[in-house]
Amino acid sequence: MEFAFTDEQAMIAETVRGFFAENATSERTRKAMAADGIDRELWSSFANELGLAGIGLPEEHGGAGLGMVEMALVAEAAGAQVAALPLLGHVMIGQAIARGGSEAQKAEWLPRLAAGELIATAAWAPKLSVADGRISGTFPFLPHGASADLLLVHSGSEAWIVDLKGAGVSVQAHVTMDQTRPFATATLDGAQGEQLADGDAAIAGALAAGWICLAAEALGGAQATLDRTVAYSKERVQFGRQIGSFQAYKHRLADMMIEIEQARSAVYWAACAVDEGSDEAQVALHSAKAFCADTYFMCAGNMIQLHGGIGFTWEHDAHLFFKRARSIQTLLGDGQWHREQVASAVLGAAA
């Protein structure tokens, strides 16, 4: 029974926690929010100094050769700081190519992704038409879409990557509630797509990575809201007592911890199941995405409530967590959809 981190995994977790805590500060995140939602200096040191952009990519193509558990540790640490990074699209396209690309496609794209040279995004449940490898369609809610170089789209069992700077592409940036991961809409009108060799494998790899990334971000974020609220509850004195000594307050914090401990199991279960190719992987992924998103939202909402008036201000970071949590709830399938996938696995398809 070894459902615990290896020494190497524990070391990675500690390193990335330290890195994000030190660098993805509120001040820098807010600066990125006022621009396109990407802290480029952070992205550059993330990719180049720490080599973390290649975490789930194979070593022969410039990656670190590690798996989804390690990728989850990175996303968890990034989520704890609501880091303004284009991590989601990056891991999705990276896994799509690593798992579904031809050797030539891997050799061409993976080293550049591992080096952080490209910013990527991915479309969820797209409607598109393809003629002679040229793709047309409208792709809304692309995370960091206005800043991205590459787009992953898929349909049925086919997947393509599209150069967003190429001909036949127009991109509309949106003002998004969560400014750390703003959306854009891309309109493709006969844009050149590069089809990945094994579409099924590419799509499965992208979705697994995307769901784990979001679940892990949610876990990190939820734990951060708890830690920050616990700290506040020990500082703030009302009625002559630290507010953390009031039972009504304690019980809400306890409820946060109870959910977070389950969310932690969910993330590592899903990541481990994907790495091991377990039969449980699909149920684990849907469970993790649905459960962790709800946990994060509950915790971030409690963070605002338990901070009182200050928690409602722009100045306080609570809203960064709250908006990220809300956004994770609907990204790549909402909770109802994911739970229905679990129900289908348990009960059979809906009538």
Partner 1 sequence: MKLGFSPADEAFRAECAAWLQAEMTGEFADIRGIPNLCDAIPRRKEWEQRLGEAGWGCIGWPRKWGGRDATIAQQVIFAEEYARAGAPNRINHIGVELAGPTILAFGSEEQKARYLPEIAAGRQIWCQGYSEPNAGSDLANVKTKARLEGGEWVVNGQKVWTSLAHYSDMIFVVARSEEGSAGPKGLSFLLMDMDQPGIEVRPIRQINGEAEFNETFLTDARCAADAMLGAAGEGWKVAMALLAFERGVSTLGQQMQFRNELDAVIDAARANGKAADPVIRQKIARAEIGLRLMRYGALRMLSGTDLAAIDGAALTYKIQWATWRRNLGELGMEVLGQAGEVASGDHYSWPTLPNLFLFSRSDTIYGGTNQIQRNLIAERGLGLPREPRGQA
Q: Which stretch, 38-46, 125-133, 236-244, 318-326, contacts partner 1 (CB under 8 A)?
A: 236-244
Task: Identify residues 69-88 at the interface with partner 1 (CB under 8 A).
Answer: 69
- Record the tokens describing residue 215, joined without a space: 């679940």
Both tokens of 174, joined, read 């949106």
Cα 88 to Cα 178: distance, rounded to the nearest angstrom: 14
Q: Give the interface size with partner 1 as a residue count (CB under 8 A).
A: 53
Query: 179 or 233, CB closer to partner 1?
Result: 233
CB 295 within 8 A of CB 222: yes
Query: Rounded to an integer, what distance in angstroms lies between the CA atom of residue 161 and that of residue 169?
Result: 13
Determine contact, residues 123/139, Cβ cutoff 8 Å: yes
Question: CA nearest 17: which of 72, 61, 77?
Answer: 77
State the minimum distance, in angstroms, from the CB of residue 294 to partner 1: 10
Contact with partner 1 (CB under 8 A) among 246, 308, 312, 330: 246
CB of 318: closest distance to partner 1 in angstroms?
Answer: 18
Residues 276-335 that bind partner 1 (CB under 8 A): 276, 278, 280, 283-284, 287, 290-291
Minimum gap (Å) between residue 287 Cβ and partner 1: 4
Contact stretch for partner 1 (CB under 8 A) within 50-58, 106-114, 175-183, 227-235:
227-235
CA 136 – CA 174 distance, rounded (Å): 21
| Inter-residue contact 51 to 119 (CB < 8 Å) | no
Q: Is 264 a binder of partner 1 (CB under 8 A)?
A: yes
Distance CA 270, CA 281 (A): 6
Nearer to partner 1 by Cβ, of 158 and 294: the residue is: 294
Binders of partner 1 in range 164-203 (CB under 8 A) = none
Q: What are the phi and psi torsion angles at 36 (to 5°)?
A: -105, 15
As beta bridge partners, residue 278 has none
Q: Is the dihedral of CA 267, 345, 89, 92 positive or negative?
A: positive
Binding site for partner 1 (CB under 8 A): 1-6, 9-10, 69, 226, 230, 233-234, 241-242, 244-247, 250-251, 253-255, 257-258, 261-262, 264-266, 268-269, 272-273, 276, 278, 280, 283-284, 287, 290-291, 336, 339-340, 342-343, 346-348, 350-351
